[in-house]
Structure 1
Amino acid sequence: MTDVVIFAPSPVLQITVEEHADDGDVHVHAGGQGVWQARMLQSLGCDVQLCSALSGETGRVLGFLLHEEGIPVVGFPREARGGVFVTDRRGGEKVPIIESGGDDLSRHEQDELYGLTLRTGLDARLVILSGPHGDGVLPADFYRRLAADLRTGGVRVVVDLAGERLDAALAGGVAVAKVSDQELLDDGRIASKKDVRQVVEAMRALRDAGADVVVVTRAEESALLLERDDVHEIVAPQMEVVDSAGAGDSFVGAFCAVLARGGSVTDAALLGAAAGAQNVTRHGLGTGEAATIERLRELVEIRPLAEGAAT
């Protein structure tokens, strides 16, 4: 039985141009939300599989890169534009050149992806539903059906989604919903990130909509955890930030590593916060070292949210 299956409908090919003494240097990596989560899970010793559609030339390259990393992909090739993210970092800052999620999946391709994800997920201890890179690719209701069918099969489902996709997955029922406070703001679920009471209200609304547990990450601020009716702060050590991108995916990967092995939500939150804290110190998204993460875990504190902040 696989520890964790990740639904990653459209991984992206990341191409970064870096500074070099001569004419520059080019780095090519597999990327996207599900890929970054898979990297963290593997760093922590979990068996993981990606369920994905690999599109066009970029998909063929992605398949090779993922194989080289040792990340198994259960998927199928398709003749279409794939997801790609090209950035120029020669000046020190990331300057986007091209960012595309690729072409939408056809109805028959959606059926094929749904079938292979359901089949693979039913044999896993836990399934993560992650989003595509871009607004299209597949309809939001895909997530409702998949969450509901996996739950019917007795599989715990964790979602790291926003907007209509989050609403759809909640309608299907999930064990854990993770979202950032920026996503809550962008979705109109809160009017201000600074008002913790609004964030807690939004968390309770997500729970009532279909999540057993809700986690909200808040960049450099403490994350919040809602389990049953209790709200806790997850306070991680403040590290020197090299790149904050991918910290949320590292959190989810480590969180799910604990859940897949039968650990508690509290223990999962501790390791997730430690993984997110380490990830900001690195250039590689979703990367980490198990020994360092375990050491940082000792510095993470979980405490009840201050009285009055949650009311």
Structure 2
Amino acid sequence: MTEQHRPDEGRILVVGSVNVDLVLGVPRHPEPGETLAGTGSRRSPGGKGANQACAAALLGGDVRFAGRTGAGPDADLALALLRDAEVDLTATKEVPAEETGLAVVTVDEAGENSIVIIAGANGSWSAQDVKSLRAAVKASDLVVSQGEIPAAAVDQLALLCAETGTRFLLNLAPVIEVGAGTLATADPLVVNESEGRLALTALTGTDAPDAPDAPDAPDDDAATVRGLRDAGVPSVVMTRGARGAILATDAEFAEVSSPKVHAVDTTGAGDAFVGALAVGLARGESAADACRRAVRVGAFAVTRHGAQPSYPSRQDELPQ
């Protein structure tokens, strides 16, 4: 479908993964070699790219999504909530020789998840595929991508953004071996604690600070964020779950606290954060203002089950 542009909203292009999530409830995560009885299962749309596009559109963003699916009913399920959210899917293509991506997600009684991903059609992205998006990149105010498509495609997307002067938000999740030039284009680079340490090691060739063991230990997350900035990343946002986020730009360094909520499922909460952050940045908000809303959107998402089904719309009241 083609969505008419809303002149009061910045245009967002999300290039990334689209999956079907198979979510398994478990009392706790199993040990290696252990068999556990689950508490239930469900299938729903997922994939980091699709999640972020859906979250942004539900919050009023003008969103185009470029993804790859296989053929068959899984593709329909994977795209269903994007269609409901009125995301422009004209740049999303079917790859008949591949399966639609699959994520197997286990969620324990505390709401914590573990995820195994089968790339399927998401792995078919090439640099040439990305080159075909030049016009869409140039027409966008913000381009968003993640680590669930091949690094060559992400590198090419960063290059297009640099050539067209389009702001590039890279959520390096999971961490893949993108080029140093790609990280130097990311404005912002969005990572969680472990992703930030891996990215810093990749950039500098040295070990990043370990996470603190004691509650009163120095905040090595902040050191990691500063290290990424010192290594040439234009701006960095580190998500830290219930502890909120850290933001570092040329203008400021800030810790943004998260509302206190009862988490039932953390699946896709980071993507809700990124989608909300993208909407704010595309609208021209400061990074700090966009982060403050994004942590509230992420907190809302963990109070509901699933990824895309848990995301708030503009009408929902966000936790304070």
TM-score, structure 1 normalization: 0.77
2:69 alignment partner in structure 1: 54
1:56-205 correspondence to structure 2 within 5 Å: 56-57=71-72, 58-59=74-75, 61-63=77-79, 66-73=82-89, 74-78=91-95, 79-86=97-104, 99-102=117-120, 105=123, 110-132=126-148, 138=150, 140-162=151-173, 163-165=175-177, 168=180, 170-185=182-197, 189-194=208-213, 196-205=218-227
Residue range with higher mean Cα deviation, 60-69 or 217-226: 60-69
1:37 alignment partner in structure 2: 52
Alignment of 1:232 onto 2:249: no
Q: How far has the Cα of 1:25 moved from its partner?
A: 8.4
Structure with the bigger percentage of strand: 1
Residue 172 to residue 55, structure 1, CA distance change in 2 (3 Å): farther
**For residues 118-147 of structure 1, what are the alpha-carbon distances to aligned partners after superposition, in whole Å with 9 as ceiling and x for unaligned?**
331211111111221xxxx52x24323321
**For residues 215-273 of structure 1, what are the alpha-carbon distances to aligned partners after superposition, in whole Å with 9 as ceiling and x for unaligned?**
11112223211122642110121101111222211111111111111111111011111
> Using the alignment, how far apart are the partners of 2:23 and 2:305 within structure 1?
12
TM-score, structure 2 normalization: 0.75
> Using the alignment, how far apart are the partners of 2:267 and 2:68 within structure 1?
24
Conserved? CA contact 2:11–2:61, under 8 Å: yes
Residue range with higher mean Cα deviation, 140-149 or 31-40: 140-149
After superposition, the CA RMSD in angstroms is 3.3
Conserved? CA contact 2:197–2:224, under 8 Å: no
> Using the alignment, how far apart are the partners of 1:246 and 1:230 within structure 2?
28
Number of equivalent positions: 284
Conserved? CA contact 2:53–2:82, under 8 Å: no
> Using the alignment, how far apart are the partners of 2:160 and 2:123 within structure 1?
20
2:290 alignment partner in structure 1: 268
Give the gaps of 5 or more residues in structure 1: 300-311
AA aligned opposite 1:217: T
Q: How far has the Cα of 1:168 moved from its partner?
A: 4.4
Taking only the aligned residue pairs, the percentage that are identical comes to: 24
Residue 4 to residue 198, structure 1, CA distance change in 2 (3 Å): same
Q: How far has the Cα of 1:166 moved from its partner?
A: 5.6
